[in-house]
Structure formats: structure tokens, C-alpha cells
Structure 1
Amino acid sequence: MLHDRYQLAFKLYPYERTADQDADTPVRHPVVVMGGGPIGIATALDLGLQGIPVVVLDDHEGIGMGSRAICFAKRSLEIADRYGCGKPMLDKGVVWNLGKVFHDDRKVFEFNLLPEEGHKFPAFINLQQPYFERFLVERVREAQANGAPIELRGKNRVDNVSPHDDHVTLEITTPEGPYTIEADWLIGCDGASSPLRGMMGLDFEGRVFEDSFLIADIKMVNTEFPTERWFWFEPHFKSGASTLLHKQPDGVWRVDFQIGWDIDRKTELQEENVRARLDAMLGEVDYEIVWTSIYTFQCRRMKKFRHGRVLFAGDAAHQVSPFGARGANSGMQDVDNLGWKLGLVIDGKAPDALLDTYDAERVFGADENILNSTRATDFITPKSKISHIFRNAVLDLAEQFEFARPLVNSGRLSVPCVYDNGPLNGADALPGGPSRTRPGSPCPDAPLEDGYLLDKLGGGFVLLTIDELAPDELEEAGIALRRVALTTSGTASGVLADRYLGQVTSGVYLIRPDQHVTARWDHYDEAATRAALRHAIGLE
């Protein structure tokens, strides 16, 4: 089922004939992205804003149908903000920080995902995936108007790929027939079923959990549910073994029912059966069904995300169960990690081997997500009598005792990955420095006198100095290092000092284009800075 509100601007890039289709020999492109979902469009936007020509091939003509992913984490919004589309996402999305967990008809406890102040973006927004995609595409259109070399080709289905040592050949089908192009680099963002993965004879490794969840997006009238995440274990209304409720924009609510493994999907998706579950849960509430679907938990990934000139990102590279909102959010972190590295390689400023660190860091991130998702799934869907008894005992204890609450797992919600022991990490020479800003960490935001820290960092290499002298500009190996000089003497100094200095009075941070810390010191040292920068681009 699909309400027409989700068909908004569906054909955002309808099929148009290109010059490539009339060329005598295959045209070579620097980068081709396969798949026009949020991860594919974000990848094109990242590269295009660097001035790198990129072509997106999509077998559809715009945004997908159905709300699908709805929870977008602060880190994804920060990444989108660097691309220039974070504000419309925040303006449209439903902001939430508070979650509540119930067992039967009792509230076990509640939690706040962002209890501290001083961040430009909230912990999460709920926003239907079609809106998220639309805002990305609209930003692409703005970038194109300003000269960004991004091309979106709808109704261009890739039917075959042939990888070579220095390029990839793609055979494409369109409404006007086939044609062939070449790519220096091919990025697979074509989703969980990934035709590209199949064409290359590659597969996932991991687990498929024997349980099913029914999604129902509904538009309710005069509801009293607050803007919070509510999760029930063994709910008293008996509509499923567990149930999740979220609010979305436009008065739409997402409901997930755990319905078991041995089911008839066609029968479960019949409207009268969906309504029976909803009526038992909601009681006398008027609602309209907007969209329904059934999904199965899967926690899997490819063994490697890089295969020569072909790289994989998003669901094409890894899958996790949806509780924890780690799917689309981890995909955005893939883009954030890959974009600057591929840009430097294409520009000749970094060796090809830098792309191997994309594989290393994002495989690490995928494993972290899979571990958290697997634990959540095992807790939500216990597979033995003993596991079920243990789970319920934890819930009973959590209702009264704080020590048990961290054991309750209704989905460990997405947080940005810290690349501990990452291949690009440099020195940690800030004695007593905060753990949250150690090398490998994403920079936490902080309020400044004239805005927010992450806005000032931008998307290039930055030397962040806090109460420490250093040159305003430095160039090493063709990389321009820009200084952001801050002081702790202002009214917002306490937050900045707490997050970046800890027990010391001054600090210097070398920060990557994806705003991850690569090295830090308690004073400026030019030789150490140059060495750390060379290491961060794979030269040492």
C-alpha cells in the first residue's frame, strides 16, 4: 500500500538521451556510481562538490517509494550539512531524543540520547527516506547550477560489468536501447540485493535471523502519543511479540510488529489483518494506512568493500537489522569516509593504496554495527526458553534497579564510528586529553561565539588550535592545511575545553576532511604536523 504523499516528485531525473549513447567508442568517466538511492546520490554530491565528474546510473527515475528508513542520526545530519542540505532535513524532520521501553503494560525505563547541550543537530530526526533522498537530489540540482560536474541518469540499468586493471566497462540498457561506457572507478550503491555484487560473483557473510517484522505506516487523527520512541516487549495488546512506535512528519506514525518466522506474507499484508493488529494496539483511534511491508533481520557484510577499481558502499556492502537505525546512517558514514580519499587519489595527491584504508575503516565500522545489531536482535527475539527467561528477568529488574537498565536492548541506536587503531591515526600527544576526541574519533560539535565548531571545520584538512599559536596556512605534499584558531576565553569556552582539552590548557588537532581526528598534541610542532598529514594521506 502507498499513500500518494510518498509519490512526491517521484521522477526527479527522468530518462534523457545522452551523448554517450551516440559515441563511436565507449566514453570514459572518472567515476560512475551504480544506484540512485540516498547513498548513491550522497556519493555523487560529495565527489561533485570536489569538482570531480561523476555519473549516477539508476534503473529508476527518482526517489524510491515507501517510507523505508526513517531514523537519521546526528552524524548523518552533520554530513548532510557539509553537503549543504542538512537544514531542510532538520526543518522537515521530527526531532526526538527521548525513548521509552515497556514490558507488557509497564514502563521499564526511559532514556535520553543527547542529554548534553551545545550541538547544532539533535540526536535523531525521524524523516521518511523519500524526503531524505529528495533533499539530496535538490542539493545536486543546486550544485549542478553552480558548475558541479554531476550527472543523474534515470532509466539506465547496468546489465554487465567487466573490471580491468585500470578501468571498468559497463553495459547499460535504456528505453532507447543499450550502450557501453567505461569508468576509472565504479562505486556500487545499488542496495541490499546489489546486482553489481551478483555480476562480480560476490556475496555476503553473516546471519539471517528467523523472525519477521510487519511495518505499518499510518496517519492518525487526534492522537495523544508524544514525539518519542516507544518500544514494547510482549505488549499487553498482543499484536506481536514486540512492537515499536515512532512519529514521522505529516502526521504519519511508524509501527513495527514482531510476527514470527513461520508466516504467510501475503496473508499478513492483507489490509484487514494489518488493521486487526493496529486496532488491538490503538483502540478507538481513526487512522489511514499509508504503507506496509514485511522485513527479516539480517546482519551480514561483504568480506571486502574494495575490489580493485570497484568499491561498495551502503546496503550493497553491509546489512544490519533495522532496530538501532544503523543501515542508512552507516551508509552515510561510508560516503563520508570514501569521498575525500577517492578525491585525493583521482587528483593525484594520494596513492591508490589510500583506498584500502576505506575498506579497513568501514569494515571495522560494519563489524561494530553488526555486533550491536546482532545483540539487539538476540535480545528482542530470544531463540530458546532459557534466553527468554533471562530477557524477561532483565526487564523486571530494570523496572526498579538502574544497574539492569544498560542490559535492556531494544536496539543500540546509531552513533558515529571511532576508528581506534585506524590505519591513518597519528600521534596522541595530548596528556589527559578527552577520550571522546582521541585519534580516530569524529569531532564532537561545540558552540562558539559565532556559530558551531563543525561549521568552521568544513570539509578539508584542518589544523585546529585552541589557545596555541601556529601558521594560518601550511602546505604539505600538495595538501593545503587550513588553520582554525580558537580560544577558551569566550562565554562558550567551557564546552569547547571540556570536549577538546580536558586537563590541559592548550591543544592542537589535525583533522581529516571527514572531520575525524587523525592526531593531536599539546603544542604546535611543524615537523610532527607535516609527518602526520603525510601519514593521513597514505604517503608514510
Structure 2
Amino acid sequence: MIRGSITWSADPVVVVGAGPVGQTAALLLARWGVPSVVLDRRSGRDPIGSKAICQQRDVLDIWEAVGAGAQIAAEGVTWTTARTFHRDRELFSYTFVDAGRSAFPPFVNISQARTEQVLDARIADEPLVALRWAHRVVGLTPDTSGVTVHCDTPAGPTTLRTPYLLLCAGARCDELRRLLGVSFDGQSFDDRFLICDIRTHLPGWATERRFYFDPVWNPGRQVLIHPCPDSTFRIDWQVPPDYDLAREEASGALDRRIRAIIGDRDYEIVWKSVYRFQSRRVNRMRVGRTLLAGDAAHLVAPFGARGLNSGVADAENAAWKIAYVGHGWAPEDLLETYHAERHAAAGENLEVTTATMDFLVPPDAVRARRRAEVLAGAGADPAIRAQVDSGRLAEPFWYVESPLTTPDPSRPFPGRPPRGAAPPAGPGVLVPDAPITTSEDEHGRFRAVARDGFLLLLAPDADPAVARGPAASVPGPARVIALADIDPAGELSAALRMRPGEVWVIRPDAHVAATLSAPTAAAVAAALDRALGHPATMGEDRAQRSRPTPGPLLETPS
């Protein structure tokens, strides 16, 4: 456990918003010994509707760090294949590649409401997290040492003082964004989407996602079908801008719409809603000691399941950086890298999902004709098939250009990989997972070890001395581990493809900060300094730099 004897000397961190992103952030802060108070304007949990259902493998892995991932995965419906159809013809399907051997499937489908319940149970068992309902934030007074949060509650106005504020209040927090002085620029799409959770029996559909272009039962538009637990299927229909759900229900057209897909079998509508999707991003994800995360910071179209999955990654990025700065293990500059990294991630998601929406709902006649040509030719021509865009599914963002990442010219980033694939391990990339041996009688997972602080991983023939000294001076938890000591079966070695003599620096969120092919103690120390958010070395004398008190050095997994 990270927290050990770590103590937090300041007021609790305030997290605004008790959705999955806020819940995750609070639980991750607790791992680092940081107390938090979670505020939500609602009077309690709303357990209705599937909402964000598609949870990606690496997000399950983050949740497992707080004791929830395995349960969410076990209760969810596992699917490994994405199928795409044009009318009544299947164009292609693909499965997902695992660079190592993860503990989790590529995706599970489970309702957001159930995910929140699982995370609530973890919060109830966590003494460092206090959850307060019916607290509506009405004012923020920031200064150089923190933020004063003003709330309306049933008992009357109250204030909380916090050194750091994490805003996870969802899409409809316009007033809070205004108080912070950030813009939320972007666009809304005219077409609407009807979403129904339908409980029925559809043999053979329970392990795959299906996407239909222009099916005969929704001509000229699209349909997306996801399996969910308890024999439930989430169906998304693209519908016209003037679609009227109440009128369609009253006329019996909704029943006909559903039966066109499921046939003449019994069904129950568990939940239904009509949405108009938006693509937006704040101009700043950090304002002083306030960080914005999840839908409060970015909105994307849902094709690709990039909303909640990206928000959980925001939470992890924010949590370790708040903890390191707040404990005095890193300079305040580290907080600015939250904006640099997660704003870029939001930009990537906007680029990917906007391209999808332009293909699904062409904005002009030229692109509409082009889409028709692509769909007509995709069945016979693999080159054309690659241009069909039914949504690139969620994946971690690669911090290749992050200020925390030390470039390695011998490991250039190859660019965005094919759908369903992952880039090779290297600077900025999330490390693959694999089983490891932590002692003669104990086994574990590589990412669990990587998330316990900074990790200096030694390839065969690497000199431990070049890592031990720099690791000993790292504030906060750090460890030096030889790959050969934890990977007797060679699974992790095959996934990482480390070269003899290398030292890799891995961040507390399991992303690679540096791959040093000719490591020296000075090079390792510089890479660690960079990963902690210190200014670029540029000849600066490290010995004269004011550094926080070093933390514990761990040389073997705990």
C-alpha cells in the first residue's frame, strides 16, 4: 500500500462532483494518503439509465488500483469484437490486441449507475474520503495557497478551505467554469440520437458490438448496438433533428422500430432518452490550484466510448500530481503538466470523434457523396474499407510530447496505430501489463507495481549503481527493480522489448517517462527530475537545486 506512514498536513482536497470521475479521483488521492471531501449538488445517487456503459481495459486497471476494477469487470459483459455493417452486409470486424497479458478484457459493458454503486462502496470503506450530498457550489475564492469553496446546503451556506480543487462536476457546470474564467468552445450536432436500454433475449449478440450504416430499419442513418448485463441491450438510433419520442411512443412506431431489430419476441424498455451530442473543450484545464476533469473539461460524441474513459484518465493524472505537489515531493510546476497532458488528450479525442461524426452525419454534399462511395466499395476493397469510420474505440493517450517525457531518438513514436492495436512500449506510452513474480511464493501484476511510485526498471546487463543513487534522492516512493528478478517466464520482457543495458523510468501512472539506452547516474537523475516537473536541466547544477526531503527507496516489489 502506498500510503504507509505518509501524512497529509494540509486541509483535504475538495472534489466537486460525485460521478465516476470524481469518485475515482478521491479514491486515488486516498492511495497517496491525501484526504478529500467530495461535494455534489444532488440529494443522492440517481440509479437510472445505462449512460456511459463501455469501460476500457486500461480504465478497469485504474479502478483495480482502488479495489474496484475486478468487480466491475466481473459484473460487466465482456466483448472483444467490433462488427460494422452496411445495410444487410458485414463490411469488417476486428478484435483487440493486448501487448502483454492484461488482467482484464479489452472492454466490458456495464451501466454507469452500477459502476457508481461499486465505487460508492469503496468510498464507504475509505476513511480518507468524505462524500457530502446536497452541497451546491455557488462561489470560488482562489488565492496562491488554495481555494475557498462557498456552498449552499439544506442547513444553510457553508465554506470549505482546500489547498487544491478538482472540478468533476459534469457537462452542466457552466457557472463554475465562468467563475474560473475558462471558455468551453466547440459545437453541437443537429442530428439527435435515441437511446433505449432493452431487456430481451438475442442469441449470439452478447459478446460483440454491432454498428449498422443505413440499415433498412433506419434508412439513411445509423444504429449502434451494445450488449449489457442482465440480458439488456443498449441500442442507439440516429434520428432526425425534429424527432419526437413521445409522439413515436403514442403511435406505436417505437415498438415497430425496436421489433425491426429484435424480431417478434418479448422485450422490456428499461430506460430511454434522446440526446444531441456536443464536441467541446475548455481552453484551460488548470487554473491556479484548480484542475478540471471529465465532462467539466471536455465533451465528445459517444462513438468510440471516449467520454468516461478519458475522464478516469484525467482523474489518475490529477491525483498523483496533486499528491506529489501537496506532499512536497515535486514543484508546483508539475500541476501545469496536468493541463499540458490532458488538454492534449482531449484534443486527440475531439479530433477522432469529430472525424467519426463527419462520416456519420456528413456536413455537406461532397462528403455525403464520398461516404456513399466508401460504403459501397468497402465490401470488396480493403483499402477503401479502412476509410469507413464507425468510431475508433477508446485507448490511452500517449504522452509522447509531454514536458515530462524524455525523448529517445532510438525509439521514435510510430504514430497512431491501427484500430484495436497499441503502440510499442516507449517514451510516453502506458506500459503493457503482465504477470510478475514478487517473491518466491507470491505473484502480482506489473502495473500494480508500477503505480506505487516512480519505478526504475533495469534491463539485463544494466548497472544497478546508475539507478540506485538517483532513486535514493527521489522525493516520495521510488524503487529499483531488475526485470529478470520479476519476469522468470519472460512474458513482460516480450511485451516491453527492453534492450540490454537500458534503464527505464516509469511514472506513478504507469506511463514510461524515459528509456535510457546508455544510462549514467546523471542521465537517470535528469530523467527523474524531468518526470517530476522540474525545469529542464539545461546545465543547471542539480546539487544547488532546492529539493524536498527524499522518500523511501524500495528495491523489490512490496
TM-score norm. by structure 2 comes to 0.85
Cα-Cα RMSD = 2.4
Aligned to 1:531: 526
Aligned to 1:378: 358
Q: Percent of aligned pairs with the same residue?
A: 38
Q: Equivalents in 2 of 1:335, 1:284: separation in Å?
A: 44
Q: Is the 8 A contact 2:100 2:432 kept in 1?
A: no
Q: Equivalents in 2 of 1:393, 1:344: separation in Å?
A: 53
| 1:78 equivalent in alignment to 2:61 | yes
| 1:501 equivalent in alignment to 2:512 | no
Residue among 412, 420, 426 paired with 1:438: 426
Residue type of the alignment partner of 1:478: P
Residue among 236, 239, 255 paired with 1:275: 255
Residue type of the alignment partner of 1:487: A
Cα 1:312–1:222 shift into 2, 3 Å: closer
Residue among 130, 133, 145 paired with 1:154: 133
Residue among 285, 292, 297 paired with 2:265: 285
Residue among 82, 87, 102 paired with 1:119: 102
Residue among 351, 359, 378 paired with 1:398: 378
Q: Is the 8 A contact 1:433 1:501 kept in 2?
A: no
Q: Equivalents in 2 of 1:210, 1:249: separation in Å?
A: 31
Aligned to 2:475: 478
Cα 1:486–1:536 shift into 2, 3 Å: same
Gap runs ≥5 in structure 2: 1-9, 415-422, 438-442, 536-558
Aligned to 1:464: 457
Q: Equivalents in 1 of 2:284, 2:71: separation in Å?
A: 35
CA deviation after TM superposition for structure 1 residue 326, in Å: 0.2
CA deviation after TM superposition for structure 1 residue 397, in Å: 2.1
Q: Equivalents in 2 of 1:489, 1:168: separation in Å?
A: 44
TM-score norm. by structure 1 comes to 0.88
Residue among 23, 47, 60 paired with 1:41: 23
Residue type of the alignment partner of 1:30: P
Cα 1:489–1:415 shift into 2, 3 Å: closer
Q: Equivalents in 2 of 1:488, 1:97: separation in Å?
A: 33
Cα 1:308–1:115 shift into 2, 3 Å: closer
Cα 1:38–1:268 shift into 2, 3 Å: farther
CA deviation after TM superposition for structure 1 residue 522, in Å: 2.9
Q: Equivalents in 2 of 1:134, 1:218: separation in Å?
A: 21
Residue type of the alignment partner of 1:262: D
Aligned to 2:538: none
Q: Equivalents in 1 of 2:45, 2:486: separation in Å?
A: 49
| 1:31 equivalent in alignment to 2:13 | yes
CA deviation after TM superposition for structure 1 residue 404, in Å: 2.1
| 1:50 equivalent in alignment to 2:32 | yes
Aligned to 2:408: 428
CA deviation after TM superposition for structure 1 residue 85, in Å: 1.2
Gap runs ≥5 in structure 1: 1-27
Cα 1:245–1:365 shift into 2, 3 Å: same
| 1:516 equivalent in alignment to 2:511 | yes
Cα 1:506–1:285 shift into 2, 3 Å: farther
CA deviation after TM superposition for structure 1 residue 533, in Å: 0.9
| 1:167 equivalent in alignment to 2:146 | yes
Q: Equivalents in 2 of 1:239, 1:36: separation in Å?
A: 40
Residue type of the alignment partner of 1:259: V
Q: Equivalents in 2 of 1:254, 1:399: separation in Å?
A: 26
SS in structure 1 of the partner of residue 269 of structure 2: strand
Cα 1:433–1:304 shift into 2, 3 Å: closer
Cα 1:199–1:275 shift into 2, 3 Å: farther
Q: Is the 8 A contact 1:72 1:127 kept in 2?
A: yes
Q: Equivalents in 2 of 1:379, 1:339: separation in Å?
A: 36
Between 1:69-78 and 1:462-471, the stretch displaced more is 462-471
Residue among 155, 174, 177 paired with 1:176: 155
Aligned to 2:549: none
How many residue pairs get aligned? The number is 507
| 1:227 equivalent in alignment to 2:211 | no
1:354-402: CA deviations, max 9, x gaps?
A: 1110001111000000000000001111123332221122122221222
Aligned to 1:452: 445
Q: Equivalents in 2 of 1:36, 1:281: separation in Å?
A: 36
Q: Equivalents in 1 of 2:122, 2:392: separation in Å?
A: 31
